[in-house]
Amino acid sequence: MNKTVKYLIGFGLLGLIAYNSVYFKRLDEVKAAGTAGAGKAGKAAFAAAPYAETFWTTKLLPAAPNSATDLATLLSLLKTDKEKAFSTYSQALGIGNIRYFLVKGEGAVTAVGPNEVTVSLPSGETVHLATEYIFGNAVRDASGLIKITEFDNTADLNSVSAEINDIIRKTVIPPLKANATPGKKLAFIGAIELNRAHLHLETLNLIPIVAQRVKE
């Protein structure tokens, strides 16, 4: 057998191997297979908005009136026994000095600004109800009703905060602004953030959950 014949046979075998090794499938078949695989092996993306709405309507609002601490009582305890106040009434999903309190109170509106409504408590302290800058984790964490073990990652957990804050902007802030008139009384429930190591009670900022005018 001469070299030319050997080369031809060799090229023929290589061609046969290549033909059997490479095949083509329709694009829609590939997409369908990929989708099916993702459904079996993957996990559906976390839906933060429905979670936040359910938490707000079925857990937080029903529990808040009874579980919230009277703000004047809390402030008095913070001044006399800070550690007891924090250990008894504060909540947080993580470790550290930043803690959150779910509080309630009633007082007279003393000022209405572009970013907040200032309320004077009967005890003499004032609290600023935020109407513009609604952000952070205070409302999510203050109630203690959400557990970190419910989430696969911190991104999902943070997205819940964002959705809760959005609910407050849309449903709580408009009526608060409408009812906030200097001299009138407001009853409120909300969340405050305090630093255990650097406690400052001169300026109290509260994210409102409920804010209603008191009938006189």
Tens of pLDDT, residue by residue over 74-99, are: 999 999 999 999 999 999 988 889 99
The Cα–Cα gap between 190 and 116 comes to 13
Residue type, 115: N
Averaged over 6-10, what is the pLDDT? 45
Return the pLDDT at 42.
60
pLDDT value at residue 115: 96
For residues 102 and 59, the answer to whether their CB atoms sit within 8 Å is: no
Sorted by where each starts, the structural domains of the chain and their CATH numbers stand as 3-41 (no CATH), 48-213 (2.40.50.420)
What average pLDDT does this structure show over 42-66? 93
pTM of the model: 0.79
With 80 as the cut, is the pLDDT of residue 27 above it?
A: no
Condensed to tens digits (0 to 9), the pLDDT of residues 133-155 reads: 999 999 999 999 999 999 999 99
- The arithmetic mean of pLDDT across residues 119-124, rounded, is 94
SS3 of residue 205 by DSSP: strand
Of the chain, the percentage scoring pLDDT greater than 70 comes to 80
* Nearest-10 Cα torsion for 187, 193, 197, 202: -50
